[in-house]
Amino acid sequence: MSRFYLSYVAVIAISSSIFGNSADDTALMIDPKLHHIRNAEPREWSNFPAEAEAKELRVDFELESPEGFSLLTLQHKSTKQTWAVTLNDKALGKLIRDHNHLESGFLIPPGTLTPGTNTLLIKTESPKPDDILVGAVELHRGAAALVSVSEAASLAKKRGFRREIPKMKTEVSLTARDASRNLPIPCRFTIIDADSGALVFVGAESSDNLAVREGVAYSLDGRATFRLAGSEARPRRYKIYCGRGFEYGLETSTIEVSGQEEPLQLNFSLVHEVETPGLVACDPHLHTFEFDRHGDCTLTERLISVAGEGIELPVSTAHDKHIDYGDEVKRIGVSRWCTTVPGCEVTTHLGHFNTFPILSGAKPAEHKLRSWSRIFHNIFATPGVRICILNHGRDVHRGYTPLHPDNFDSETGTFLRGEKLQANAMELINSGAQQTDPMELVRDWFSLLKSGHSIAPIGSSDSHTVNFAIPGQARTYIRADDSDVTGINVDEVVDSLLAGKSMVSFGLLTTLEYHSKSEEVSLKVLGPSWTRVSTIELFRNGVEVRSIAVPEAAGKVPGTKYAARFSLKDWDAKSGDFICAVASGPGIAEGWWPMMPPYQPDKPEYRPFVMGISEAVYLK
């Protein structure tokens, strides 16, 4: 495939320059298009065209007077590999690795631009196929100073990158309140360009109250104030969304910014659409860049984003170290909204295992052991640990996949090579590392249950970021008292997990209740107004016994989307059998709660989905 070569001539003259995103300064549009680039074959995703424009993006442009331009901005989407951005052979940085459609900015070092021809080059050295969109390139006279130099340096150290954005003029203030109590509530604000769909530059920085990325502002107290781009010469329309994760409704409003002097004010009222009394909302797989050195999230941002998604029991699972969220939770006031649990992701050569709870001062488990017997003995020897979760069991890490056919017989639910799984829970949905076939890990779980393993189903986010992998998007609901989220009884939660009383939620929540006297089972599927259930499958001992198609109108209802009671006699069920229900429907691709494509895909086809997996209910 030949290299794409775009030549675009722009002669700077203030009276005739093309206005870009900036409101206070003029911005020169170098290349208005988004280009489809693929570095290597075969095609990564089938939703991209079969043929890309090029393996890299090269844009040549002419400048008459380059003085004053100090910021380059662009848009990109679906960047999985590392793409370097250079200008006249000088490195500006790298595209953020993110599946979302983003605006990104890069500082231009003095002396980089020259009169005459200049060349922008965006390319990757990775041999792995990566289909991306990139373009909409602009030059700006100056970048916004959102915080002091020392604060910016501190944030960069804690999250591994610097946000560079253009100066913007119009101030926007947002508030969110709980509709039933009319009180401020933690939330997620999403700001999207109404025309392109991009997550846009947000003129604010993270603080003890906000966690900010392009297009996203999590707020701890339901308030956020920031600036947005737009001018009289080039007004911009924005869609602003407000939500609080799975249990709450979604509100939206569209505004136009044209350089207004007066602030724009929007007020949102969030309805608690999915009531879950007696169920604790837990994300047992959470990270930060600050302590794990990959991702982009500080500890403070992690806690604010967790509160904004409505997680009641976040578990700290840094790789091979114990990080207690407690002090920071108290310092910024997150303790009003959740109970935190110290844990650890023990990252071995033979699988990754989340472990909790962990007593203060305990030494991390040894992660370099080379047999499961030694690994599990070491894990459960860690003071306090009672839960051990097999993470992303179908993913390969360091050349090993726990549930690969070389290691696991999915027909019998037994492990080969003499290994014995001693984990008491396993991830069925990891929203940060999904499977191509969303039922694959469910079938593995069924096989383990049939072979006698006592293993609870887990949903988690595996989030290392503020927005790339949304915290709490996949979560676990555990049967325990959640009437006081500031003081959840962790022992009760652990006991419930060990008894298998957990449900996996990824946009839906499915519950089963067994009525022994009548030999019936009650089924419910719950969800917010912005997700839909289309299909429900019921299983006895891992074998499908019934499939239910849910009408579209009913599947969109907020709260209880489906409820029914079934006789177990119709399924030839008997004592000792287990029953499970799996509800599913179309997922979300839009930027207000986007679902990631598979982490290690088996094929190029992918459609976002929502899913709710009930606990395995054993008949007596």
- Of the pLDDT bands very low, low, confident and very high (cuts 50, 70, 90), residue 23 is very low
Are residues 338 and 426 located together in one domain of the fold?
A: yes
Write out the two tokens for 440. 């694959």
Tell me the CB-side half-sphere exposure of residue 300, using CA atoms within 13 A. Answer: 17
Write out the two tokens for 389. 């979760």
Query: What's residue 489's pLDDT?
Result: 98
Are residues 620 and 578 located together in one domain of the fold?
A: yes
Distances from the Cα of 568 to the Cαs of 86, 445, 478, 576, in angstroms?
65, 22, 25, 13
> Long-range contacts of range 480-486, CB-CB < 8 Å, 24 or more positions apart?
480/278, 480/279, 480/280, 481/278, 481/280, 482/276, 482/277, 482/278, 482/279, 482/280, 482/281, 482/312, 483/277, 485/312, 485/337, 485/338, 485/339, 486/335, 486/336, 486/337, 486/338, 486/339
Beta-carbon contacts of 370 under 8 Å, excluding residues fewer than 6 positions away, are 349, 350
Are residues 354 and 374 located together in one domain of the fold?
A: yes
Q: Which of 556, 610, 566 is nearest to 588 (CA)?
A: 610
Backbone angles phi, psi at 485, to 5 degrees: -70, -15
- What is d(CA 299, CA 287) in angstroms, rounded to the nearest whole number? 8
User: Residue 1: inside a domain, yes or no?
Assistant: no
User: Residue 370: inside a domain, yes or no?
Assistant: yes
CB 421 within 8 A of CB 403: no
User: Residue 513: inside a domain, yes or no?
Assistant: yes
Are residues 387 and 485 located together in one domain of the fold?
A: yes
**pLDDT of residue 256 exceeding 70:** yes
Place of tokens 């986010």: 461
Q: Which of 56, 55, 61 is nearest to 7 (CA)?
A: 61
Distances from the Cα of 255 to the Cαs of 85, 187, 222, 260, in angstroms?
32, 20, 19, 12
> Long-range contacts of range 44-49, CB-CB < 8 Å, 24 or more positions apart?
44/80, 44/129, 44/130, 44/131, 44/604, 45/78, 45/131, 45/597, 45/604, 45/606, 46/604, 46/605, 46/606, 47/606, 48/78, 48/131
**What length does the chain have?**
620
- What is d(CA 372, CA 347) in angstroms, rounded to the nearest whole number? 12
Final residue belonging to a domain, choices 140, 171, 193 = 140
Are residues 283 and 246 located together in one domain of the fold?
A: no
Q: Which residues of 295-319 are buried (b: 16+ CB within 10 A; e: fewer)?
A: bbbbbbbbbbbbbbbbbbbbbbbbb
Query: Using the 8-state DSSP alphabet, how is residue 143 labeled?
Result: B
Question: For residue range 179-237, what is the model confidence (pLDDT) as tens digits?
Answer: 999 999 999 999 999 999 999 999 999 999 999 999 999 999 999 999 999 999 999 99
Are residues 333 and 434 located together in one domain of the fold?
A: yes
Q: How far apart are the first and last CA of the chain?
A: 64
**pLDDT of residue 376 exceeding 80:** yes
Distances from the Cα of 385 to the Cαs of 340, 351, 359, 477, in angstroms?
15, 18, 8, 20
CA dihedral sign of residues 493, 273, 285, 597: positive
Backbone angles phi, psi at 130, to 5 degrees: -145, 110
Are residues 463 and 486 located together in one domain of the fold?
A: yes
Beta-carbon contacts of 315 under 8 Å, excluding residues fewer than 6 positions away, are 282, 283, 284, 285, 286, 340, 341, 342, 343, 354, 356
User: Residue 93: inside a domain, yes or no?
Assistant: yes
Question: For residue range 70-80, what is the model confidence (pLDDT) as tens digits?
Answer: 999 999 999 99
Write out the two tokens for 179. 């509709």
Are residues 376 and 359 located together in one domain of the fold?
A: yes
Are residues 297 and 426 located together in one domain of the fold?
A: yes
Write out the two tokens for 170. 């119009």
CB 482 within 8 A of CB 279: yes
User: Residue 298: inside a domain, yes or no?
Assistant: yes
CATH number at residue 48: 2.60.120
| Average of per-residue pLDDT across 553-581 | 95
User: Residue 528: inside a domain, yes or no?
Assistant: yes
Final residue belonging to a domain, choices 140, 171, 188 = 140
Which amino acid does the sequence have at 571?
W
**pLDDT of residue 13 exceeding 70:** no
Final residue belonging to a domain, choices 115, 140, 165 = 140
Are residues 264 and 303 located together in one domain of the fold?
A: no
Are residues 171 and 133 located together in one domain of the fold?
A: no
Q: Which alpha helices (DSSP H) does 470-551 contain, by range? A: 490-498
User: Residue 59: inside a domain, yes or no?
Assistant: yes
Query: What's residue 331's pLDDT?
Result: 97
**pLDDT of residue 3 exceeding 70:** no
Q: What percent of the chain has pLDDT over 90?
A: 94
**pLDDT of residue 367 exceeding 50:** yes
Question: For residue range 428-439, what is the model confidence (pLDDT) as tens digits?
Answer: 999 999 999 999
CA dihedral sign of residues 552, 553, 556, 557: negative
Question: For residue range 305-350, what is the model confidence (pLDDT) as tens digits?
Answer: 999 999 999 999 999 999 999 999 999 999 999 999 999 999 999 9
| Average of per-residue pLDDT across 139-166 | 95
Are residues 86 and 205 located together in one domain of the fold?
A: no
Write out the two tokens for 618. 């054993």
| Average of per-residue pLDDT across 257-271 | 96
Query: What's residue 418's pLDDT?
Result: 84
- What is d(CA 32, CA 34) in angstroms, rounded to the nearest whole number? 7
How many domains does the chain fold into? 4
Q: Which of 482, 494, 473, 408 is nearest to 445 (CA)?
A: 408
Question: For residue range 98-134, what is the model confidence (pLDDT) as tens digits?
Answer: 999 999 999 999 999 999 999 999 999 999 999 999 9
Range of the domain at 609: 507-620
User: Residue 324: inside a domain, yes or no?
Assistant: yes
Which amino acid does the sequence have at 354?
N
CATH number at residue 575: 2.60.40
Strand partners, 139: 28, 72
